[in-house]
Amino acid sequence: MKRTWWKEGVIYQVYPRSFNDSNGDGIGDVPGVIEKLDYIKSLGIDIIWLCPVYKSPNDDNGYDIADYYNIMDEFGTMEDFDRLLAGVHERGMKLIMDLVVNHTSDENAWFVESRTSRNNPKRDYYIWKDGKNGGPPNNWQSFFGGDAWAYDEQTHQYYLRLFTKKQPDLNWENEAMRKDVHTMMRYWMDKGIDGFRMDVISLLSKRNFEDTNFLGFNETIEHVYANGPKIHDYLQEMHREVLADHDVMTVGEGPGISLQQGLNYVHEDRNELSMIFHFDHMFIDHGPGGKFDPVKYDLVHFKEIFAQWDKLMVKGGWSSLFLGNHDFPRMVSRFGNDNDYHAESAKALALMLLTMRGTPYIYQGDEIGMTNIAFDDITDYRDIETHNVYRSIKEQNGDLDKLMAAIHWQGRDNARTPVQWDASANGGFTTGDPWIKVNSNYSDINVALQEHDEDSILNFYRQAVACRKTHGELVYADFEVIDVLNPRVFAYWRRSDEAKYLVLINFTEDTLPFAVAELDQGETMEMLLANYASPTTLVDGRFELKPWEAVLYQIN
């Protein structure tokens, strides 16, 4: 397995709007990120992934880009960005930028031109079609609900928009458009950034625009919207034109990329991407009706997903490890217990994230165990996806109480409340009026409080990151799940010729006995990391795991 910095690094994801507001307008900004670079560095972070900061009308919080060459007014200026990049590099860290090129904003100059007439030179930068039987060209549905097509009065055609109406999909068949995207990418590379996180990269190549007849939306993504016939041509071309000969990393966001296609995106011989984010564990609790129809998830299935992807990636790819981001619930609320075992389960999940094989991504605020929010009033929500689904259920006279419960559980704003820095007003995020309410638990859960507590979740993250650095084998050693069918404990080996580690994590509120058959007589166990002051030890051939107990042993 080839060794490199982006395999060994730990990544921290910044969602700037909710990170830190430097000027009191209630919106996090680039100077706000600069103020916190020492903090990020103090976690042991090597690489920062910065969510979109480009000029945008913010229909989808920056994932709708109006100008790829400028910074969003609310976030600051290009000078601020240049200072940020320099500040990251001065501290020995790297910066990767979000690249959103499946779609632009409808306010992007390309689209403004494209929609003016059917024969405008930019017309084919987007996907325009005639309607069918008085309706849209086909039955495709938007990721955010409703038809995936928007009708344009001016030229009497529909344009494809897999996300919001203000996010028209680019037409990757168009060579001039692809060249413009490459030029734009080179502009950022020339500034010295260290790579890209590529938004919904699996969706670039569109299939024939035929009606679909899949039942579930996630299946439709895999078989209809993602993995189109030319996706690998586009990625190889991008690699050739922009990325080759630069020491950069890329991570492609991959809704619809299943085990069958996973390796094609990342195999080291293919010259496409360094890693992808697959969604198998993120969609694990989606019911037949999708994310707002949640079902209970099963730990056996969860473990299988990690085992299968690791087994696949060992054939020449590399895994990314994440348990949440700006699109999903808070990891401690979703996979842990944010009530009675808040600290224990937050640390248990951190231990898992930082002891598997792959590159770990820490989402802002998870390092202090930030939790979901549950606003009672729909008007307190900001996410367009949440508002769309609310509107549509209301129009259908559906069960709004049930929907609110689902929003509390699955809504994207769970992860978008401001980072809780201290116990002052608004958690120290802003001196003004925050664009979205701060979670009311900020006086109990905040960075300042945890800085002073050596047993805090924050300091546990620091220890876990440091441990991964000291024990370099934790990056590359083989990963093997122990007792695969155990529905309550996630246990695994990390083994290589040089070292051997054992990880035990109790995913329940019960005390559980656990035996590890393969532990040899005469081996000594050194405890490296644990979330209880007196961690479990091997007694008469078995461990006894306390509620949400997690422990990492080195076996010698």
Residue closest to 167 by CA, chosen among 107, 216, 247, 84: 107
Nearer CB in complex with Ca ion: 24/192: 24
Q: Out of Ca ion, ligand TEU, none, which partner does residue 163 contact, by CB within 5 to 8 A per kind?
A: ligand TEU
Nearer CB in complex with ligand TEU: 256/547: 256
What is the DSSP track for 267-335?
Answer: -TTT-S-SEEE--TTTSTTEETTEEEEE----HHHHHHHHHHHHHHHTTT---EE-S--TTS--HHHHH
Nearer CB in complex with ligand TEU: 344/383: 383
CB of 414 to ligand TEU, least distance (A): 11
Residue 98, beta-bridge partner list: 197
Tokens of 264: 């094609």
* Residues numbered 157-196 forming contacts with ligand TEU, rule: CB under 6 A: 163
Q: Out of ligand TEU, Ca ion, none, which partner does residue 143 contact, by CB within 5 to 8 A per kind?
A: ligand TEU
Footprint of Ca ion on this chain (CB under 5 A)? 21, 23, 25, 27, 29
Residue 327 interacts with ligand TEU (CB under 6 A)? yes
Nearer CB in complex with ligand TEU: 22/102: 102
From the candidates 253, 280, 383, 385, give the one annotated as an active-site residue.
Answer: 253
Which run of H or of E encompasses 554?
A: strand 550-555
Nearer CB in complex with ligand TEU: 222/385: 385
Residue 285 interacts with ligand TEU (CB under 6 A)? no
Nearer CB in complex with ligand TEU: 202/355: 202
Residue 63 interacts with ligand TEU (CB under 6 A)? yes
Which run of H or of E encompasses 492?
A: strand 489-495
CB of 497 to ligand TEU, least distance (A): 39
Residue 366 interacts with ligand TEU (CB under 6 A)? no
From residue 385 to residue 424, the character string flagging contacts with ligand TEU as x (rule: CB under 6 A) and all else as - is: x--------------------------x------------
* Residues numbered 31-60 forming contacts with ligand TEU, rule: CB under 6 A: 60
* Residues numbered 118-147 forming contacts with ligand TEU, rule: CB under 6 A: 143
Q: Out of ligand TEU, Ca ion, none, which partner does residue 291 contact, by CB within 5 to 8 A per kind?
A: ligand TEU
Task: Please state, in angstroms and rounded to a whole number, the distance separating the CA atoms of residues 242 and 96.
Answer: 15
End-to-end CA distance of the chain: 24
Residue 291 interacts with ligand TEU (CB under 6 A)? yes
In this structure, which amino acid lies at residue 295?
A: V
Q: How far is CA 300 from the centre of its chain?
A: 22
From the candidates 98, 194, 199, 549, give the one annotated as an active-site residue.
Answer: 199
**Residue 401 annotated among the catalytic residues of the structure:** no
- CB distance 505 to 348 below 8 Å: yes
Work out the number of other CB atoms within 10 angstroms of the CB of residue 17.
Answer: 27
Q: Out of ligand TEU, Ca ion, none, which partner does residue 382 contact, by CB within 5 to 8 A per kind?
A: none
DSSP state of 135: B
Nearer CB in complex with ligand TEU: 52/547: 52
CB of 130 to ligand TEU, least distance (A): 26
CB of 493 to ligand TEU, least distance (A): 33
Task: Please state, in angstroms and rounded to a whole number, the distance separating the CA atoms of residues 386 and 485.
Answer: 36
- CB distance 503 to 355 below 8 Å: yes
- Assign 68 to helix, strand or coil: strand
What is the DSSP track for 494-552?
Answer: EE-SS-EEEEEEE-SSS-EEEE-TTPPTT--EEEEEESSSS----BTTEEEEPTT-EEE
- CB distance 528 to 467 below 8 Å: yes
**Residue 253 annotated among the catalytic residues of the structure:** yes
CB of 21 to Ca ion, least distance (A): 4
Tokens of 130: 């005639």
Q: Which residues are catalytic?
A: 199, 253
Residues that bind ligand TEU (CB under 6 A): 60, 63, 100, 143, 163, 199-200, 253, 255, 291, 326-327, 385, 412
